[in-house]
Amino acid sequence: MFVLTDQNSIANHYLEGLRDISQQNDRLKFRRNMERLGEILSYELSKSLEYDTHTITTPLADTPSRKLKSSPVIIAILRAAIPFYNGIVNYFDQADSGFIGAFRKEGTTDSEVEIDFSYLAAPEIEGKEIILADPMLATGKSLVTSVQQLLKNGTPKNIHIVAAIAAPEGLEHLKSHLGLPYQLWLGAIDEKLNEKAYIVPGLGDAGDLSFGPKH
C-alpha cells in the first residue's frame, strides 16, 4: 500500500488545498488539485508496472529506452472521479477507459448505505492491469459493486485502486469483499466515517466541490 502523506512531498500542499474550507470556494482550484493528485499517484503506480527495453534512435545515436509492456485500463466511478481521472489519463495517455455510474442513495447511514448502479461503459479487461479511480474511498461499497459489474467484461490481472482519501472502514470492506488481487495507491488514510458515511476529517463532498450541488 502506498500512502502519499507518509512522505515529504509537494503533494501534501495539493491535499491541503482540497481539504481546507477556506480554499474550497474555488472549483477550478479544487478540480486541479484533484487532477494533480491523480497525476502524482499515477506516477507512483507506474513504478510498479512491467516495462520492456527497446532501442530508439535520437538524431545522434541509437539508445535503449523503456516502454510499458501493456497499457493499463482506467475505470472512473462517476461523477466525483472525473477530475481525478483526468490526472490519471494525463499520465497513462494512451490507456483505454471505462466509466461506471454507481452512487449511494441519499439519506442512508453508513451501516445501511445502498449502492444504486446505473451505468457501465467499459472496454474488455481480460488479463489487464486495471486502474480504478475512486477519489473518496468511504464505505468501499460502490467500489466493490463497480468491480462486480466490471467482471462482465473479463477478469483483470490486477486492480490498482487509486483514492485521494480513504477511510479505514472502506479499506476493511475491500479486504473482506473484493476477492481479487489489488494494490492501494492513496493520498491519505483518515480517521473514520461519520453517521452519514462521509470521511472524517475528509474534505466534504468531492462531487459537489467539483461541480456544484446535485438537485
x/- contact string, 53-82, with ligand URA (CB under 6 A)? ---------------------------x--
Q: State the minimum distance, in angstroms, from the CB of residue 202 to ligand URA.
A: 4
Does 164 help bind ligand URA (rule: CB under 6 A)? no
CB closer to ligand URA, 73 vs 143: 143
Residue bearing cell 474550507:
21
Whether the CB-CB separation of 120 and 165 falls below 8 Å is answered with: no
Whether the CB-CB separation of 77 and 134 falls below 8 Å is answered with: yes
Q: State the minimum distance, in angstroms, from the CB of residue 213 to ligand URA.
A: 12
Pairing of strands 199-200, 115-121: unpaired
Which of 202, 65, 75 lies closest to 134, judged by CA? 75
Secondary structure of the chain: what % helix, strand, coil (to 5)? 35, 30, 35
Q: State the minimum distance, in angstroms, from the CB of residue 80 to ligand URA.
A: 5
Query: Binders of ligand URA: how many residues, by CB under 6 A?
Result: 9
Cα–chain-centroid distance for residue 75? Answer: 8
x/- contact string, 186-205, with ligand URA (CB under 6 A)? ------------xx--x--x
Cα–chain-centroid distance for residue 197? Answer: 18
CB closer to ligand URA, 74 vs 136: 136
**Cα separation, 67 vs 52, whole angstroms:** 5
Q: State the minimum distance, in angstroms, from the CB of residue 192 to ligand URA.
A: 11
Does 138 help bind ligand URA (rule: CB under 6 A)? yes
CB closer to ligand URA, 72 vs 140: 140
Q: State the minimum distance, in angstroms, from the CB of residue 134 to ligand URA.
A: 9
Burial class (CB in 10 A: 0-12, 13-18, 19+), 76: buried
Q: State the minimum distance, in angstroms, from the CB of residue 34 to ligand URA.
A: 11
Find the binder of ligand URA among 89, 100, 136, 161 (CB under 6 A): 136
**Cα separation, 168 vs 192, whole angstroms:** 6
User: Which stretches of the chain bind ligand URA, using CB under 6 A?
Assistant: 80, 136, 138, 198-199, 202, 205-207
